[in-house]
Amino acid sequence: MSGEPNSLPRYLQLMWGLDDGARRGPKPKLSIADIGEAAVAVADSEGFDAVSMKAIAQRLGLTTMSLYRYVEAKEDIYEIMLDVAYGRPADGLTADGSWRERLNAWAHAIAAQLRKRPWLTAIPMRRPPAGPNTLSWTEAGITSFDDTGLSNQAKLSSLLLVDGFVRNHVRMSSELGALDTETSSGADQYSVVLAQVIDDIRFPRLCSAVRSQALDDDTDDFYSEELTFGLEVIFDGIGVRIERDG
């Protein structure tokens, strides 16, 4: 399966080694990965909002305009840094076990990458990522469904569902401070706040949940337990679809 390399944006040609070298001007001094690594370094040290063409160029010792030999816009940088930050999945990540065990391994590996760099969940996407590393993750995820009887569309849709949940859970956990085990989080304080503003008349079910300490997760428990619960529910649904279509 292939297309015309020249129909691809320049940054994707460079990411895939499809650039034919016919572009006018001096030969580029950097690889596209160098630019991605500089962007990741900015996000790691200063946050995603600090990522700019100027900040990246400064880290590389270049002028801002020189980056436009590699990319057409700052948005191109986002996919490059996404590909660099994810890296490649471990060999054999989804090679063994049942489909559920393989998919669980994939989901937790994705979650681990996002938890190391929560700013990844803030990257806006103009299109599905198409870098070599991110597509390797997609390939590994689809492999989870080998021999399930699901259609190709159902496999891709199921993977998108799992990925979307994991990304949203890490993003929410990060915003609540639930990824930092050294400090209390918004999730920790939720039941304390509720206890002061709700009553049995207007919120009988919520009061019951608070009294049962169902909302009293500590920081790490909130992240890990809610991740496990959400994945189990999603897998249960996918399992029903597999039984129906298998």
Could you give the domains of the chain?
5-86 (1.10.10.60), 99-245 (1.10.357.10)
pLDDT above 80 (res 184): no
Supply 129's token pair: 């990522």
Q: What is the pLDDT of residues 98-141, one digit of tens each?
A: 999 999 999 999 999 999 999 999 998 888 899 999 999 999 99
Average pLDDT over residues 2-15: 78
Maximum CA extent, the chain: 74
Contact 44, 23 (CB under 8 A): no
DSSP H helical ranges for the chain: 10-15, 32-46, 53-60, 74-86, 99-116, 132-143, 152-175, 186-197, 204-211, 219-245
**Overall average pLDDT of the 195-203 stretch:** 82
Distance CA 159, CA 205 (A): 34
- Please state the pTM of the whole predicted model: 0.86
Instruction: Identify residue 52 by its one-letter amino acid code.
Output: S
Task: Please give the pLDDT value at position 181.
Answer: 56
> Are residues 117 and 44 in contact, defined by beta-carbon separation less than 8 angstroms?
yes
Q: Which of 17-21, 103-107, 120-124, 234-238 has the lowest mean pLDDT?
A: 17-21
pLDDT at 20: 54
